[in-house]
A = this chain, B = another copy of it.
Amino acid sequence: MRILGIDPGSRITGYGLIESRRNQLEFIACGTIRTAGEANFSRRLLVIFSDISEVISSYAPEVAAVEEVFVARDPRAALKLGHARGAAVVAALHQGVEVFNYSPRRVKQTVAGYGQADKAQIQYMVRMLLRLNAAPSSDAADALALAICHAHHSFV
């Protein structure tokens, strides 16, 4: 099963792809979509939608795992994050890729054994679990952690 993890944000969206075979995880690709330079907020959403659509066309994942967000610092930040997440989720569903949601706590618990794990710890564990030569950027690591979380929970 090929899994796409997406960590959406209005400035940076991380993505990561893994292949899961009989509980063996294989790294496929990861990257970040940077939209902070685009002043027009609506255009940022189109970039997220288009780039995620392109990633899906290129790597043909069967499912996507996206961070579930219940709370945010303030309404304005929540509104922006909601837009970005909406654009990413719609890009996946539009191409027939089913979307699963995982809370940040559950992702951290799954990849690091600790629900409050910090970003460096997640980067370290993602590198370990996928046997990478170097740690991916924090946003790409979070996306890969989401994909690993889905792989784990779909086998349990």
Contacts and interface: CB of A to CB of B under 8 A. Distances in A.
A122 to B, nearest CB: 23
Contacts of A50: 94
A15 interface: no
A93 B43 CA distance: 8
- Copies per assembly: 2
A42 interface: yes
Nearest to A8: B86
A74 interface: yes
Contact of A83 (B42, B70, B77, B82): B82
Contacts of A78: 72, 75-76, 78-79, 82
A101 B155 CA distance: 45
